[in-house]
Structure 1
Amino acid sequence: MFRQQLLRQVRLFSTTPIARKSPVETVKDAAKVVDRTISDVAVKGIEKGEQAAAAVKEAVPETKGQAKGQANEVAGQAKGKANELAGEAKGKAHELKGEANAKL
């Protein structure tokens, strides 16, 4: 009986740190991890946006004159390609006509 009484009154002293985290600390650590992940993704998105903006700035002409020049250039290329295809079609038509005349 005396022994049990002594055990109840004596408190043990320890110098080792607590190995377990409290629920509040666990939630704080999880929130920090989530915050860091979201921040990293947001930074990557901002960087991609900046790259896209730079690409658009390079592609878009700065003045009306440049825009007209680019439009004329594209139109000229389209006309050239159309003429090329028309020439090929005429050549093929003449070729087929020659083959048809040869068979007659």
Structure 2
Amino acid sequence: MSFLSEAAVRRVALASRVASVQVPRQFSTSIAARKTMTEAAKDTLKTVDRKVSDKLVDGINAGSKAAETVSGKTTEASYKAAGTAEEIRGKMKGETEELAGKAKGAAKEAEGKIKSST
């Protein structure tokens, strides 16, 4: 067989295998929405960036909550210390007044003894 007759036979054999079915198309005036490799990569990077930034924001929020807790505990401890200092001052003032009263009593008693002996 010659080259041309072989090629013709092959084309006829291939043509009989291909089904000629007419596919209905939807009516649209826009270009099919297909993303290029760059657009798909950009979308993937945006998604990853968003997830990473969300996690970073969560970490920052946790850090600020921890800082608030620490400062709250520090403030609470300083109030307790101030309260304890006030309590100690009150006790000392009471003891001072008590000792002053005892001293006045002892002085009056000594004065009374001196007057009675003369």
Structure with greater contact order relative to length (CA < 8 Å, sep ≥ 6) = 1
Task: Name the larger-Rg structure.
Answer: 2
Q: Indicate whether the TM-score tops 0.5.
A: no
TM-score (norm 2): 0.39
